[in-house]
Structure 1
Amino acid sequence: MSIGTLTLRSLDPLEDAGLLHGWVTHPKAAFWMMQDARLQDVEREYMRIAAHEHHHASIGLHDGEPAFLMEWYDPRHVELVGLYEPEPGDVGMHFLVAPTDRPLHGFTRAVITAVMTELFADPATRRVVVEPDVDNKAVHALNAAVGFVPEREIDKPEKRALLSFCTREQFLAARGVAV
């Protein structure tokens, strides 16, 4: 069974705020820590990201329809400053799959695979860095499935996180591609 086509488009903070608000305030997105956000809060957050030189966001499309959010950032300047020693080619990543009443088996894994493929499409990307909440067991399993290896727990201002890394080689090996 095919998942369908996954593509990305630029995120427009004002146009997409309503869509994103529904996603980030949904109970499924508890680890996104925006449960009580107002529409204006979401607009403000994504305007901040859009204006930031080292933080970016895109809307992921499933067969042309908005279905997930992808964020990537330079950990030397955003999110992980002072929490680990970044290496050249490190790129931080967040993703969020939209809530749905028609779940598609394997969809979330297809999304994280598409996100990683997009990040590694840039030859400058040597390693992807994530810092999910230590209690987010579902995302830890997804991360492991695409090649992430946990390094250690870290304390961020908003959460206790599991710092994990995935090199291009680890990602390809997890996908069964010879390196």
Structure 2
Amino acid sequence: MTTHIEQQLYSRDILDVGVISLRPIHLDKDIDTIYKWITNPHAKYWGMLTSTKEEVYEAYYEIEKNPHHHTYIGMLDNEPIFLMERYKASEDIIGKHYHAHLNDYGMHILVAPVKQRIPKFTWYVFSTIINYFFSLPYVERVVVEPDVHNTKIHILNKKAGFVYQHEIKLASKIAALAFCTRETYKKALIKLTEK
């Protein structure tokens, strides 16, 4: 039997916060949690507020069948706290909106509603995810395409060194296309330590 520790893909111990880790989704076990997060008003940019549990299950079942798109659950110690999707940009619809490089990988992030406020918590989650992406030797650029109106994620993206390009029209939104490389991320982290 596989243990939780064996399933971890990446973890980071943050002083006074705890261990933030990533594990693969277990759809049958995680569906109640995912459904609760995705249909919460704070997840309006996820576009599934009125979805049924069956529709959410089917959407993630389809993602997990795709060899180029995967879903992960983020944990704080042993508590699920965020959902993250990783996809190969050249094999996704986003690749039709720009010249996708072979080693471009995109991400979607949904942080659960906060039970207890932790200063800088969203940044800790976000930077852990970026650290995970750049721990993968085949990832050269991280691509994001958030809704242009999602100001909170734009702040995090820019803080992590994402460079915004232009707006693109996707089926469900007008999105801001942005890229982050190891170099722009490193420069962003240096800039943060200088403040």
TM-score interval, smaller chain: over 0.9
- What percent of counterpart residues are identical? 37
Aligned alpha-carbon RMSD (Å): 1.2
Distance verdict in 2 for CA 1:81–1:89, change over 3 Å = closer
Specify the SS of the correspondent of 1:175. Answer: helix
Distance 1:96 1:61 in 2: 12
Counterpart residue number, 2:77: 63
Does structure 1 residue 174 correspond to structure 2 residue 188? yes
Shift of 1:88: 2.7
TM-score, with length taken from structure 2? 0.87
Shift of 1:2: 2.3
Equivalent AA in structure 1 for residue 151 of structure 2: K
Q: Greater helix percent: which structure?
A: 2
Is contact 1:3–1:106 with CA below 8 Å preserved after alignment?
Answer: no
Equivalent AA in structure 2 for residue 108 of structure 1: T
Alignment of 1:146-157 (within 5 A): 146-157=160-171
Structure 1, gaps ≥5 residues long? none
Distance 2:185 2:157 in 1: 10
Counterpart residue number, 2:67: 53
May I ask how many residue pairs the two structures share in their alignment? Answer: 177
Shift of 1:12: 1.1
Greater RCO, CA 8 A, separation 6+: 1
Distance 1:79 1:102 in 2: 37
Distance 1:88 1:51 in 2: 21
TM-score, with length taken from structure 1? 0.95
Alignment of 1:57-96 (within 5 A): 57-96=71-110
Structure 2, gaps ≥5 residues long? 1-14
Distance 2:185 2:37 in 1: 27
